[in-house]
Amino acid sequence: MLLADDYFLLAHDDRSGKAIISPKSLELGLAGAMIAELVLEQRLLVEGSLLRVLRTDPPADALAHTILATMIAEPQHQEVRTWLAYLGQTAVDSVGQRMARVGIAQQIQARRLLKTVTRYVATDINLPAGRVVRLRRLLMGAAPMYAADSTLAGLAAVTGLTGHVLWDGHSAGLKRLQHAIAGMPPPLRHLVAQVEAAVGDAVLSQRN
């Protein structure tokens, strides 16, 4: 499963399709996951607060292709935070529609007050819970965590999903989570740190 799809399922209720974190945290987490997909394919490099394109050949995935093409067309924008903000604006629909195209989710429209809200609900009700259980088992066990797994865990942690995955606050799981984040390849670790900073700024702006 692609990283942003995995994160999407992790961040939504399995029955209602409602996000279980704030809209801004969800947007930034998904944007970070979409960028991470390109980093994992070694098409992007994140160094500190900046990113740069390493390869310009189009990825197989249509969404990743669109994102990379946009970054190539806008070389003056290298700040990770700029791309997190930009991609976050449409992240829910972008990832939701990708999941719908491959049958992982279905698009549902619901009336709320005076507007129509679009949600993307997993076609298999067991899938979101299954992704939570999978990540929990990785954090609770001794099996190796690959870069994508560590990135998913890191994004979950910095966007407020740790309690959803480690709902009992298990100390061993929390310790392994910290080790997983610390041991990520530098480009992915820098990306997760930028997502964390953006989420922190969003929380502060909402309080002011």
Q: Which residue ranges make up each domain of the chain?
A: 3-125+185-202
Q: Out of 3.40.50.300, 2.60.40.420, 1.10.3630.10, 1.20.120.1200, which CATH number does the structure's domain 3-125+185-202 have?
A: 1.10.3630.10
The confidence score (pLDDT) of residue 187 equals 98
Cα 55 from chain centre: 22
Task: Taking each helix axis as running N to C, give the angle between helix 91-101 and helix 62-73, from 0 to 180 degrees, rounded to the nearest 10.
Answer: 140
C-alpha–C-alpha distance, residues 31 and 46, integer Å:
14
Report the chain's terminal Cα–Cα distance, integer Å: 38
The confidence score (pLDDT) of residue 171 equals 82
Cα 132 from chain centre: 14
The confidence score (pLDDT) of residue 208 equals 62
C-alpha–C-alpha distance, residues 110 and 142, integer Å:
42
Structural tokens at position 109 = 């429209």
Sequence-separated (6 or more) residues with CB below 8 Å from residue 89: 27
C-alpha–C-alpha distance, residues 112 and 105, integer Å:
21
Cα–Cα nearest to 35, from 74, 13, 14, 66: 66
Instruction: Report residues of the chain scoring pLDDT below 50.
Output: none
